[in-house]
Amino acid sequence: MFVALVWVLACTYTVGYAALFGYRAGEPLQLFFGIPTWVVWGILAPWLVVTLITCWYALLGMKDDDLDEEAQPVHSVVEKGELNV
Amino acid sequence: MSNLLPLFALILMMAASMWIGVTANRATQKGGGFLAGYFLGNRGLGSWSMALTATVMSGGTFMGFPSLVYQYGWVLALWIASYMVVPLCTFAVLGKRIGQLSRLTGAITLPELLRERFQSQALGIAASAMMIFILAFSLIAQFKAGAVILQLVLPGLPNSAWSIHDKPAAFIYALVIFAVVVVSYTVYGGFLAAVWTDLFQSVLMAVGVMILFPLALIKSGGLAAGTLAGVQAAGPGFALAPGAGRDFLPIGLAVSFFFMWSIAGMGQPATLVRLMAFKDTQTLRHAMFLLAVYNTIIYLPLVMVFICARALLPGLDKPDEVMPRMALLVANPLVAGIILAAPFGAVMATVSGFLVQISSAFVSDVYHRLRPDAPEDTLRRLSQVAIIAAALISSIGAIFSPKFLQAIIVFTGGAAACAYLFPAIMAAFWKRGTARGALASMLGGVGTVLVLYAAGWLMAATNPGWEPGIGEKSTFSPIYPLGIAPFVWGLAASVILGIGVSLADRAPRGDLLERYFPAI
């Protein structure tokens, strides 16, 4: 759910901001350190925020789990069991 | 002598990769059995290997993507924007469960995992067949990219001596050298060789971008100068969406590509197989952190570098060559060689990874199923023959490939995601999912993508001059119903069919669920 929330917010903000300010042919070009302002606020800024969120989640938010034990190599189960298809 | 320095750097890169192949071969022999070692590295991948080799960096990242930035301008920052969420999507959604399932099933390839989880031979065979088809097609673009870089630094080749399908002799020679080198170390070292060379080359890519970035800024007079030169040359669309001179990225496609890199990226076979190979969940968390930082320092500077390229290399008629030409232009020959080694390494790494996947699909998933008692020597020889055959076919395809590399990469990336993503999600999280549902999901998803590309090809063949008018201008264009990219339609078909057919089918056996959902 956490990942879905971040994805939806990032997509909505990024594409939404670009739709409002990036698709404006005919208007004077505004640059911020040589970068169009719609790119700065619509893409670079959320990119940095999401990177910080990801770093937090990776280091503190996500818990470790046991991956269970290795099974025998395959070529055993399907041959013995019934096949669904 | 200075002209030979870039070539010298690439030769060093190739020698290092071959040395890694030899080392990987030794490591592979330490684990339990040829197949598990050769195709999965005995599940021992660490954080750096996972972070820098599990996602979709490839020849496209360093060759195809720069050519699009050069052509269409700043809108490519929007096109690639979903890379901001790729680390979360790739590692946090499917990571733990695929790692767990692969251990519970004992599977060493993706088709094996799906077959065992759903107890279906048909599903396993379909997954293998699609992997061979999709990855072989994708390799065409990668082989072309490798040959393009090598061609530019190989001295004294007679470009006009002869040609095949518009590809000059120098390209063909470069293609042969590239193919021989990559196949050699991949054949010898298998999965670990692919992963370790990928890791080494990913680090080199970061170094290459870090060097190229300031050099491009200085040489072009800064980002503002680059942007304004681009606007002057290509029109105001260079600084705006939907792109310079064309409806490259209308809103529908902007949303589509946000799906593409983040969601579709999760379903790539190369990604999923790495999720089967990591050591423990701590490895997974650290990989997520490393990839978040890596993506930030790679992709945004890459856009900026090739915005500057418009000012430095105006009117380039082969945009796929913009990366190596920029390196040769802005840096002294030795530094150019180091920079060029980055995209060259990216291509080599992708090619070797895909070759291993194709080989595993054929040998482990098809041949070993038919001959479970085949001796290890036979499996080893067959794996190597499969790698060589796939490389040969893809090299021939590279001679006849379309103008833009990225068109092939988008097609194959989308098709692969439609084939594997939803079946993998069903396998990992949905107890009610059935084998028939997963098979329908796989076939329906890929079928939808293929139909939309075939329709584009038919339209172009029957109406000379037809092209979709949006997206990348290429000789390989799909149709875009409602302005949405084919892989989004394919993914929608995959989800609907997977759920619908599963619900219409008998519920899976209880013992199967107990085995594969122990803690859910």
**3-state DSSP call for residue B370?**
helix
Q: Is the per-residue pLDDT at A82 higher than 50?
A: no
Judge whether residue A4 has pLDDT over 90.
yes
Interface contact flag, A14 B78, Cβ < 8 Å: yes
Check: CB of residue B441 under 8 Å from CB of residue B501: yes
Residues B175 and B179: their CA atoms lie apart, in Å, by 6
Answer whether residue B491 is part of any domain. no
CA separation for the pair B354, B350 (Å, rounded): 6
Domain regions of chain A by residue span? 7-61
Residue with the bigger pLDDT between A34 and B33: it is A34
Q: Which residues of B touch A43 (CB under 8 A)?
A: 77-78, 81
Q: What is the pLDDT of residue B37?
A: 63
C-alpha pair distances (Å), B490 with each of B245, B416, B446, B453, B495: 29, 10, 6, 11, 9
**pLDDT at site A73:** 53
Return the pLDDT at A76.
45
What's the confidence (pLDDT) of residue B308? 93
Whether residue A22 and residue B106 make contact (CB cut-off 8 A), yes or no, is: no
> Structural domain tally of chain B?
1
Strands B163-164 and B167-168: antiparallel
Q: Which domain holds residue B169?
A: 2-40+47-402
- Nearest-CA distance B396 → chain A (Å): 35
Dihedral pair phi/psi, residue B43, rounded to 5°: 50, 50
Which residues of chain A have a CB within 8 Å of the CB of B276?
A: none
- Intervals of chain B under pLDDT 70: 1-3, 28-44, 51, 53-60, 155-161, 402-405, 519-520
Say whether residue B520 is in contact with chain A using an 8 A CB cutoff: no
Asked if residue B126 belongs to a domain, the reply is yes
Q: Parallel, antiparallel, or unpaired: how do β-strands B163-164 and A31-32 relate?
A: unpaired
pLDDT the model gives residue B419: 94
**Residue B112's closest CA among B46, B198, B32, B35?**
B35
- Is the CB of A35 less than 8 angstroms away from the CB of B74? yes
Q: Give the model confidence (pLDDT) of A65-78 as tens digits.
A: 877 666 555 544 44
CATH number at residue B147: 1.20.1730.10
Secondary structure letter of residue A32 according to DSSP: E
Helix (H) or strand (E) holding B520: none
d(CA B395, CA B423) in angstroms, rounded, equals 31
Evaluate whether residue B459 is within a structural domain.
Answer: no
pLDDT recorded at residue B480: 93
Check pLDDT > 70 for residue A83.
no
Q: Give pLDDT, residue B372.
A: 84
Contact B367, B143 (CB under 8 A): no
For chain A, the residue count is 85
Q: CB distance B518–A35 less than 8 Å?
A: no
pLDDT at A75: 47
Residue A67 has its nearest CB partner, among B36, B99, B296, at B99
Q: Which of A33, A57, A65 sits opposite B88 (nearest CB)?
A: A57
Q: Which one, of B422, B448, B428, lies nearest residue B501 by Cα?
A: B422
Q: Residue B29's CB: how many other CB atoms inside 10 A?
A: 10
Is the CB of B232 inside 8 Å of chain A's CB atoms?
A: no
For residue A85, pLDDT beyond 50: no
Give, for B467, the enclosing helix (H) or strand (E).
none
Examine residue B312 and state whether it is found in any structural domain, yes or no.
Answer: yes
DSSP code for A43: I
pLDDT of residue B515: 85
**Which residue among B74, B226, B242 sits closest to A39, beta carbon to beta carbon?**
B74
Residue B166, classified by CB atoms within 10 Å of its CB into exposed (0-12), middle (13-18) or buried (19+), is exposed
Q: How deeply is B259 buried, as exposed, middle or buried, from its count of CB atoms within 10 A (0-12, 13-18, 19+)?
A: buried
- CA end-to-end span of chain B: 64
Lowest mean pLDDT among A4-18, A47-61, B362-376: B362-376
Question: What does the pLDDT read at residue B40?
Answer: 63
pLDDT score, position A70: 61
Cis preceding-peptide flag for B242 (omega within 30 of 0): yes
With 0-12 / 13-18 / 19 or more C-beta atoms within 10 angstroms meaning exposed / middle / buried, residue B124 is: buried
Q: Which pLDDT score is estimated for B54? A: 54
Are the beta carbons of A11 and B82 separated by less than 8 Å?
Answer: yes
Q: Is B124 on the interface with A (CB under 8 A)?
A: yes
Q: How far apart are the first and last CA of chain A?
A: 33
How many residues in total does chain B contain?
A: 520
Query: In B313-374, which residue ranges form alpha helices assigned H by DSSP?
Result: 322-330, 333-362, 368-370
pLDDT for residue A61: 87
CB-based contact, A60 to chain B, within 8 Å? no
Confidence band of A52 (pLDDT split at 50, 70, 90): very high
CB-closest option in A18, A47, A50 to B241: A18
Q: For tokens 């070759």, what's the residue? A: B355
Burial call B399-420: b when 16+ CB within 10 Å, e when fewer: bebeebbbbbbbbbbbbbbbbb
Specify if B71 maps to a domain. yes
> How far, in Å, CA of B287 to CA of B444, rounded?
33
> What whole-number distance in Å separates Cα of residue B398 and Cα of residue B416?
20
